[in-house]
Amino acid sequence: MEREKEVIRSIYHKDVVNFFESIGLSRELERGEIRCSVCGEIITLNNFRAVTRKSENLLFCCNKESCIHKFVSHLRGDKA
């Protein structure tokens, strides 16, 4: 069975501010209104690790190892 090609986009740490501005969420980031979709921790410039789109929503992930693992597993469709 052939696997689908996977597109992986990355954001350099120095470009995180511009990224949040480009998606119109810089104020929400500054106000602490963006939360990790796994643990609920407030996302900051220092702990932002990943983002993906699910339907119309953006899901963010903080830099906790356990959150990253769950976030990636969910994206892959792994069973818990």
> How is the chain split into domains, by residue range?
13-76
pTM: 0.81
CA atoms within a 13 Å half-sphere pointing along the CA-CB vector of 65: 0
pLDDT of amino acid 12: 81
Terminal CA-CA length for the chain: 23
- Tokens of residue 64, six digits: 């906790």
DSSP element (H, E) containing 48: strand 48-54
pLDDT of amino acid 79: 65
pLDDT of amino acid 13: 81
pLDDT of amino acid 47: 96
